[in-house]
Every structure is written in structure tokens, then in C-alpha cells.
Amino acid sequence: MTTTDIALTELLTLSDSGQWHRAACRGDPNHEAWFPYPSQDFDYAREICAGCPLLAACTEYAASTGQSGVWGGREYDRGRVIRS
């Protein structure tokens, strides 16, 4: 199983926050947009994140748990912001 095969809702359940059900990305069928290659833009994911009520919590979660992919409108690699 690759990272892009994992549903975003499965990733969100890793958090102990009871608020992930409010995430703007929840249920998004475009999984690959959340794990772009370095040569790909991530405008689609960034636009969805921009209107999310959990933007700050999402970025904090990604940084503190070493996530990779787009979280809170930023792209992370093992918890470090590589693009914003």
C-alpha cells in the first residue's frame, strides 16, 4: 500500500482530536493532490485548506507527529515544512 492509497480519513483518525470530522479535506476523493511530487503544484489542496476551520490544528499536528504531504495548506516532509 502506498501513501496515496490511504484515505485521508484514515490519516485524520491518527489524531486524538475530536474535531477532525470538521476538516475541509474529509472525504476528498483526490488523494494524490495531498501527496504531490516535488515537481507538482499543490494549489488544489492549498485552496481546500484555506477555508478549513482546522487549519492551525492541522499544521500543528503535521509538525508534531512528523507527517508528510499537504497539511494545513503547507507541504511537509516528515514534519518539516518544505513548501507553503
| Cα–Cα distance, 84 to 77 (Å, whole number) | 12
Query: What pTM was computed for the model?
Result: 0.76
Three-state DSSP class for 84?
coil
| Cα–Cα distance, 21 to 84 (Å, whole number) | 24
For residues 70 and 12, the model is more confident at: 70
pLDDT digits 0-9 by tens, 33-80: 999 988 899 999 999 999 999 999 999 999 999 999 999 999 999 999
- Alpha-carbon separation of residue 56 from 6, 59, 76 (angstroms): 23, 5, 14
DSSP state of 20: G
Nearest Cα neighbor of 26 from 11, 5, 43 is: 11
Helix (H) or strand (E) holding 74: strand 74-77
